[in-house]
Amino acid sequence: MRIEWTFAMNQPWTLDRVLDFVDIANRYSCQIYVGTQGKMLNAKGLLGIVSLSLSLGAQSSIVLQVDGTDAQEAFDQVSIYLQGGEYVRPEMFSRSL
């Protein structure tokens, strides 16, 4: 299944948002690409998404392409996040007191 959609960006891409976005994208086996003006980048690559976030400037929209077996689930989660949804990063290390 292939899905393509253009999203209006209602929040700036801070470093935390970039890290969260890449983390969400890496949870799925399908291919996920984002970009603007025909230049698409792998959403699972941190450096590419950091570069995209810095180049957006006043750009108010990005294109999301999702293709693969779990594309619908990935699209649902990524699109919720791109539209301003909250994301709680899973704990990577257990804390002991």
Instruction: List the one residue out of 84, 82, 85 whose CA is nearest residue 22.
Output: 82
Encode pLDDT of 73-93 as tens digits: 999 998 888 877 665 555 544
Encode pLDDT of 41-72 as tens digits: 999 999 999 888 888 765 568 899 999 999 99
Task: Please classify residue 19 by burial: count the beta carbons closer than 10 Å to its beta carbon, then call 0-12 exposed, 13-18 middle and 19+ buried.
Answer: middle
Instruction: List the one residue out of 57, 52, 25 whose CA is nearest residue 41.
Output: 52
The pTM of this model reads 0.80
Position 27 scores a pLDDT of 95
Contact 13, 56 (CB under 8 A): yes
Position 95 scores a pLDDT of 46
